[in-house]
Amino acid sequence: MRVIVALQHHFSMTADGTVYPTSVFEYAIWRRYLDVFDEVVVFGRVKCVQEPPASAPSQSTGPRVSFYPLPDHSGPWQYCRHHAKLKTLARQILQNQDKDACILRVPSNISSLLWNELSRAERPYGVEVVGNPWDTFAPGSVKTILRPIIRRKMTWELARQCRMASAASYVTEHILQKQYPAGCWSTHYSSIELPAELIIDEAAINKRIQRIGIKSALKEPWHICYVGTMSRLYKAPDVLIDAVGRCIGKGINLKLTMIGDGRFRGQLEQRALRLGISNSVKFTGQLPPGQAVIEHLDAADMFVLPSLTEGLPRSIIEAMARGLPCITTNVGGLPELVESGYLVNPGDVSALADKIAAVISDVDGTKRAVRRNVKAAANYRSDILRRRRIEFYNRVKSCTLAWLKQKKE
């Protein structure tokens, strides 16, 4: 049985038909579905390009993985312009592949197109819930006059999608489940899988703890690392720059490395310049996932991700696996991941600056956080998550087979 997977992400396709992701959805991600299904058909936005994107980690296509490409578009106005075509393609893929299982990664406008057609046909589907639209479209997160309408519409849709699904998986253990309860069988797992070698061992833990003590004693600069998109500001890189500026203004010796790229990068660089901290802030641009990012994490002393909205971000789990103290916000699944003493309210520059200063001054607490974070990250080992994922896929498959059997009768 094949499976159609719908999601919100952008992809690029070269003339030879090879598809590349703009972020983490390389072939290895789709190969996970092949543990249960015979083929994967990806229903997503695809842009035709001459050359593979420089930032692409690797290709998305491969054996038994293909794409049903949609017109590439960004933002609500372009979505409205392409809506008729998108709706037609959603109807066509279900008509042409009426024996396939369907999994919707939600929240997503693309997934909602498919959901509308699935609902009309009373056809089973599974949902992988990866975020909360009520947080994603909170005030200040997206610059469009349609933001309040989109926020309510997508929140309402997600609630119904979870309630009507045949099977549901969540990236959180409790939080998203409470807000968007499933009307069926459900489980939880993250799409993030940590290979055993990414989680530091006892010797590396002791080395990091020792470095914290030395830095504190010698008053050496603390290196903060941030990893996240700059295409939109929902991960709040602007809030982080402002908080670092406040800390430096109070005499705290900090260096900030910002990994990522996007249309707001220039504005963020100008922000650091206006605050007089450009010499203390390094913009690396987009780096391929893996060793290049890990090297920066290992060189850092703290990881900060002040997101306005999140599901369960890979960047912070990888930072924890490398033994970094992590400061983040109390949104999405982050309170399940990080101790309450390392959480601040989203968008609060003053609270974030105070928290950074407090973590630096609390040497003993920071050392404890190193061990605690490594232990917590170990819960994301691939063997643990794979079992839950396969159970979810099998549930979607069995519900689809039952529906096909009933349809024949």
- Average pLDDT for residues 43-60, to the nearest whole number? 87
CATH superfamily of 196-379: Glycogen Phosphorylase B; (3.40.50.2000)
> Which long-range CB contacts under 8 A does 335-343 form with residues at least 24 apart?
335/175, 336/172, 336/173, 336/174, 336/175, 336/312, 337/312, 337/376, 339/369, 339/372, 341/365, 342/369
CA torsion angle 188 190 191 196 (round to 10) = -120
CATH fold for domain 2-193+382-408: Rossmann fold (3.40.50)
- Asked if pLDDT for residue 257 goes beyond 90, the answer is yes
What pLDDT score does 367 carry? 94
What pLDDT score does 144 carry? 82
Domain ranges of the chain: 2-193+382-408, 196-379
- Asked if pLDDT for residue 55 goes beyond 70, the answer is no
**Higher per-residue confidence, 365 vs 58:** 365
What pLDDT score does 214 carry? 87
What pLDDT score does 329 carry? 96
- How do residues 175-209 score in pLDDT, each as one tens digit? 899 999 999 999 998 877 788 889 999 999 999 99
Q: pTM higher than 0.85, yes or no?
A: no
Range list of H helices, 195-264: 202-218, 237-249
- Asked if pLDDT for residue 267 goes beyond 80, the answer is yes
pLDDT band at 238 (very low <50, low <70, confident <90, very high): very high
- Average pLDDT for residues 357-380, to the nearest whole number? 93
Q: Poorest-confidence range of 144-148, 306-310, 380-384, 390-394? A: 380-384
Q: Taking a C-beta distance cutoff of 8 angstroms, is the pair 262, 237 a contact?
A: no
- How do residues 115-128 score in pLDDT, each as one tens digit? 999 999 999 999 99
- Average pLDDT for residues 36-54, to the nearest whole number? 93
- Average pLDDT for residues 207-218, to the nearest whole number? 88
What pLDDT score does 20 carry? 94
- How do residues 142-151 score in pLDDT, each as one tens digit? 778 888 999 9
Read off the DSSP letter of residue 33: G
Same fold, 2-193+382-408 and 196-379: yes
- Asked if pLDDT for residue 131 goes beyond 80, the answer is yes
- Asked if pLDDT for residue 383 goes beyond 90, the answer is no
- How do residues 82-105 score in pLDDT, each as one tens digit? 999 999 999 999 988 778 999 999
Average pLDDT of the chain, as a whole number: 92
What pLDDT score does 76 carry? 87
What pLDDT score does 139 carry? 79
What pLDDT score does 57 carry? 66
**Higher per-residue confidence, 232 vs 109:** 109
Q: Poorest-confidence range of 51-65, 268-282, 389-403? A: 51-65
